[in-house]
Structure 1
């Protein structure tokens, strides 16, 4: 039995906190891509990527409603809380997915649209339906879905996939494991009760902390790629170095933290920092790119 669904319940299906990151990284990819795009078309492209990301979230909640009802942090989502039925979420997600892909293709190009369709498929089928309940590497492999948006934004401008757009993909891809494994370290009981094989539940805390540290160091190094590839200048480089060192330092503190409350506190601190980390890095890339363009106009 479901209650009468409200607009905010359908909005919650879109996973707005996740969608905001998807939209922002896609927007940065679109802005820094070489080439010109009409501002109205750019707005439509970003909106389509946002809707596609929301469709992925709705379909994820449709399939995962059984485990969402078990985990404390997801029990109040619209489906387990009884405000929206699984069928309503399924139809909602499918309609949004088809709409976003079709409009993006018509407004920009079919490479970008195909990329968006593949991203939705990867997140819903490869990650949600297959990997999430099968392997502790679910986040590593499945994280690719959340890493594609800046490449989609790039492709929307010039219809290409380049090493520069792949560098943006790599940053998000390497950010995903330490971000989610830090969460999993202090939410182990939730994932254990739901039967989701997250890394701490399968490999143990020590192995997870070591892998977080390794991925954090690789992430910090990857954020320097835009500088080496000529996509950014000193401002972005400085921000990337400072934030990367800070991220790695927090991962090191987590690795060295004793078990129990200190470890969970350090895991929570790293997770909290990781929430803002990508926004800071991509905002710095955006600001640096705009400054370089402004400087070239004035010179």
Structure 2
């Protein structure tokens, strides 16, 4: 459901050894289970759930039922896991060429292609049923839409064709806020659409700096990330533009929701920090000095989004009006 937002560790000796095994060869059940979990990219799922739960608080203007929250989080995690598993299946050829993805189970041979497809389809079906049962058909439909956006729009259409892949493909990563809102209200309104916009604008400023670190990987795999097609300078400039756009977008929620002091203060403070670091990256690239640290912006962007959405949830529960 989300774009490939979090880096993966470099391949270990065991992973490299495993890559020489026939796909689907017999391994211990613990290792097999770990391989299936890895196929879902759990670190990406964590970030998706961070945006879902606070949106549910905002929709409820308080705490939704425990069963609804638990059901949506489980259904959302299964849905995201399905999209990520499909992504691993379709990207298995280029994953073999990139150092950061050489530990993925389809590359190491711990999961066969057939097993990966069956697993991805099973998660898609189960997640749809879960979200329909615990919430409503709109929530389930949005989840299916998120899977299709990530697998079809991003993975199959955009990723290998344009350096804007992460921009429009990032729409899939915005869907959890719509899913969380619809689960509570069985409807959509301006508030989740603004949060959708925030994540949409945040994604390029978050992911493009990471792509600088793995520029050689993407170049080797012939994936046209902006860092490959236009260089680090373009990434730094675009990070500044999108950081500003993200923060401005986040402030639109204040009059619309409306939001109180908690969210407003957090959005301004964390947003100012995000913008400052993006400008610092750009200045470092222009001056070619040691302040050019794309990974600093990458990690900070995760912290920024986490703070912003925690503030959404806290503000909804402990609302302190501005006026």
TM-score range, shorter chain: over 0.9
Taking a change above 3 Å as real, the CA distance of residues 111 and 266 of structure 1, as seen in their structure-2 partners, is: same
**Which residue does 1:52 correspond to in 2?**
79
Q: CA RMSD in A?
A: 1.9
SS of 1:79's equivalent in the other structure is: helix
SS of 2:105's equivalent in the other structure is: coil
Q: Deviations over 1:24-72 (max 9, x none)?
A: 2111111210478532133112210111011111111111111111111
Structure 2: distance between partners of 1:260 and 1:70: 33
8 Å Cα contact 2:284-2:292 kept in structure 1:
no
Structure 2: distance between partners of 1:130 and 1:193: 19
Q: Deviations over 1:135-177 (max 9, x none)?
A: 0010000000000101101001111111111011111111100
Q: Quick one: which of 71, 76, 79 aligns to 2:98?
A: 71
Q: Deviations over 1:237-260 (max 9, x none)?
A: 111111111111111111111379
Alignment partner of 1:19 is 2:40: no
Residue correspondences, number:
294
1:227 Cα shift?
1.3
Q: Quick one: which of 70, 79, 82 aligns to 1:43?
A: 70
TM-score, normalised via structure 1 length: 0.93
Structure 2: distance between partners of 1:211 and 1:91: 39
1:262 Cα shift?
4.2
Within 5 Å, which residues of 2 pair with 1:158-169? 158-169=185-196
Runs (5+) with no aligned partner, structure 1: none
Structure 2: distance between partners of 1:155 and 1:133: 33
Q: Quick one: which of 261, 266, 275 aligns to 1:239?
A: 266
TM-score, normalised via structure 2 length: 0.86
Mean Cα deviation higher: 262-271 or 231-240: 262-271
**Which residue does 1:33 correspond to in 2?**
59
Structure 2: distance between partners of 1:173 and 1:8: 31
8 Å Cα contact 1:185-1:264 kept in structure 2:
no
Alignment partner of 1:129 is 2:151: no
Q: Quick one: which of 180, 187, 212 aligns to 2:214?
A: 187
Q: Quick one: which of 92, 97, 101 aligns to 2:128?
A: 101
